[in-house]
Amino acid sequence: MLKQLTAVIEREGDGFVALCPELRRDRDSELDIASQGNTIEESRQNIREAIELFFETSSPAEVKQRFHDEIYITQVEVSLG
């Protein structure tokens, strides 16, 4: 079974950090499903592997508890001064 999930990737120093917001755990960033890489594509591949590992090793109860199926990514225009 395939499921489409979101990967948010941002530059951090010389590399990139990726996380999956659908699998966030109670706003505790230490427990997020996250990964990193030297390039965007490497980060994307690494987060895919981390997500797959999470689904392979987690109980159905943990998956149900963590999974958020409504994630909205948008931009907001703000005044800077």
Q: Tell me, what's the pLDDT at 26?
A: 65
Q: Which two tokens stand for residue 57?
A: 């090793």
Q: Is the pLDDT of residue 1 over 90?
A: no
User: How far apart (Å, rounded) are the C-alpha atoms in residues 44 and 20?
Assistant: 10
Instruction: Find the mean pLDDT for residues 2-23.
Output: 95
Q: Tell me, what's the pLDDT at 21?
A: 92
Q: Is the pLDDT of residue 54 over 70?
A: yes
What pLDDT band is residue 29 in, cutting at 50, 70 and 90?
Answer: low
Q: Are 53 and 39 in contact (CB under 8 A)?
A: no
Q: Is the pLDDT of residue 33 over 70?
A: yes
- Enclosing H/E stretch for 65: helix 60-66
The pTM assigned to this predicted structure is 0.84
User: How far apart (Å, rounded) are the C-alpha atoms in residues 64 and 76?
Assistant: 30
